[in-house]
Amino acid sequence: MKAKERKKLCIVMMGLPARGKSTHAKKILENLSKENLNVKVFNNGDLRRKYIKENTSSFEFYNPDNQKTVKVREEIALINIRNAREYLRSKGDIAIIDAANVTRKRRQIVISELADYNILFVECVNEEEDFLNICVETKTKLLEFSHLPKQEAYQNFLKRIEYYKKRYVHLSDEPNYIVIDSLNNKILKEKDEGIPYYHLIRDILVSDWIHNLYLVRHGQTYFNLENRIGGDSELTERGMRQAKDLAKHFKKTDIHYVFTSTKKRTIAIAEEIKIQIPDIEIFPFEEFDEIDTGDCDSISYDELRLSYPNLYETRFKDKYNFTYPNGESYRTLKGRVQLGLKKALFLSGDVGNMMIIGHRGVNRIILSLFEFRNVEDVPYIYIPQDKYFHITATQYKKLIEMKKFSAFD
């Protein structure tokens, strides 16, 4: 390798469709660009859509036994690899090839075409079935599927994944690689034989990457008025006014994804936002449902104190660890909220800005995941209904600001 090339690097993404490759590629691009490096992503799919005029969304195009389409796909892949090589030959410091690269043969081609440069493979895996369904659904909203009914597009994409699975060989013989659980941002396997920027890239992959997260609590409900816990109460007139104020406040904000719980009070807010920003997609996640108050569901705090004095006292003594009979504690709530947040970050990854509309307990947990808090303080964090939290996070900094949106209170 010539001295000039010694620090030049090609990062080669690898993984089945809908496993977060593009999100991670973009995350690496954004973060390495901040290091004053010339970085560019080379995406096979973009090239395919540019060069092939007919629609290539049909799963048959990905059939590994169809000689004709295999040839076309190999040609596209080679152009992409060579574009990346040209970039490294000229001003590029780091090229990122964003493609499935699931066969060893394809990876061998990459290695020989880029023999003058360092190569790091990054395999993205994620096999959480329920969640994958949501990921596949979002893929089928792409323009190339617009001619198909929703269910047909969904089945089509699943068959495409099956074809890729047929030839899939995990990384293991390649000289340098990172295998990442791309939902949980956890490194599963790695090998580094002296790749430049390796530790930086590793840090980027495992870190939270949030452009803008707007964390909102639902407005006033009938249960709030009566000081009742749990339930699935509707918003009051005041709660609806808060929702409208919130929606107006965000009217001009660049938001793509809104995550709610499955409860009426959070979905109602998201629907108001959709009136102001019609392009948003709403995802109701059970993971963001309020702390499960079990046998105490729907009772008021006064009833809890008078009818269940022992419970009331135990809760008072250690609110974080207190578990409602047949329900949850803040400690157990943390696990599922954390999973919900990971899913939300994964889905919104390559567009960046998102909103979560949650509940008092849920939002306390989300905040505690970004700022250090003693666990005993977490169940007391102030979560108002007329203000929201604006969170941004990279591997270097985290910023949390509380902002007012409503004329109420």
Q: Of 379-398, which residues contact ligand F6P (CB under 6 A)?
A: 379
Q: Is residue 16 at the binding interface for ligand F6P, with CB under 6 A as the rule?
A: no
Cβ 270 to ligand F6P shortest distance, Å: 17
Of residues 214 and 223, the one with the C-beta less far from ligand F6P: 223
85 binds ligand F6P per the rule CB under 6 A = no
Please tell me the number of Cα atoms within 13 Å of 275 on its side-chain side. 12
- Which residue number, 175 or 284, has a Cβ lying nearer to ligand F6P? 284
DSSP assignment letter at 288:
G
Report helix angle 237-250 to 264-276, nearest 10: 40
**Position 293 contacts ligand F6P (CB under 6 A):** yes
Tokens 């079935």 correspond to 129
Among 230, 239, 340, 352, binds ligand F6P (CB under 6 A): 230
Minimum Å gap between C-beta 330 and ligand F6P is 7
Instruction: Compute the distance between CA of residue 84 and CA of residue 92 in angstroms, rounded to an integer.
Output: 9
Q: Minimal distance in Å, beta carbon 309 to ligand F6P?
A: 16
- Interface with ligand F6P, residue 224, by CB under 6 A: yes
Site string for ligand F6P, 350-379 (x = CB under 6 A): ---------xxx-----------------x
- Residues in the interface with ligand F6P (CB under 6 A) total 10
To 10 degrees, what angle do helices 67-89 and 104-113 make?
Answer: 30
DSSP structure string for 214-239: EEEE---BHHHHTTB-SS-PPB-HHH
CB of 122 to ligand F6P, least distance (A): 40
Out of 204, 291, 337, 367, which residue is the one contacting ligand F6P (CB under 6 A)?
291
Q: Kindly provide the residue ranges of all beta strands, DSSP E only, lying in 274-342, ordered along the sequence.
A: 281-284
Q: Considering the complex, state which of residue 80 and residue 323 has its C-beta at the smaller distance from ligand F6P.
A: 323
Q: Cβ 380 to ligand F6P, closest distance in Å?
A: 7
Nearer to ligand F6P among residue 208 and residue 290 (C-beta): 290
Q: Contact region for ligand F6P (CB under 6 A) — 151-159, 288-296, 342-350, 398-406?
A: 288-296
Nearest to ligand F6P of 87, 285 (CB atom):
285
- Note whether 290 binds ligand F6P by CB under 6 A: yes
Q: Are 124 and 187 a contacting pair, CB within 8 Å?
A: no
Among 76, 229, 247, 299, binds ligand F6P (CB under 6 A): 229
Cβ(58)–Cβ(145) under 8 Å? no
Query: Per rule CB under 6 A, is residue 292 in the interface with ligand F6P?
Result: no
As a whole number of angstroms, the distance between CA 4 and CA 35 comes to 19
For 365, phi then psi, to 5°, come to: -65, -45
Indicate the DSSP class of residue 300. B
Nearest distance from C-beta of residue 175 to ligand F6P, angstroms: 52
Per CB under 6 A, the segment of 23-31, 101-109, 222-230, 280-288 that binds ligand F6P is 222-230
CA dihedral sign of residues 163, 164, 169, 170: negative
Do 187 and 202 contact (CB within 8 A), yes or no?
yes
Distance CA 28, CA 40 (A): 10
- Counting contacts by CB under 6 A, is residue 336 touching ligand F6P? no
* C-beta of residue 9 within 8 angstroms of C-beta of residue 40: no
26 binds ligand F6P, rule: CB under 6 A? no
Residue 104 or 387 having the CB closest to ligand F6P: 387
By CB under 6 A, what part of segment 132-171 binds ligand F6P?
A: none
Beta strands in 140-256 (DSSP E): 177-181, 186-191, 210-217
251, 276 contact by CB (below 8 A): yes
**408 secondary structure, DSSP code:** -
Pick the closer one to ligand F6P by CB: 297 or 350: 297
Indicate whether 327 belongs to the interface with ligand F6P (CB under 6 A). no
Q: Is 20 left (phi over 0), alpha (psi -120 to 50) or beta?
A: left
Summarize as ranges the residues that interact with ligand F6P (CB under 6 A): 224, 229-230, 290-291, 293, 359-361, 379
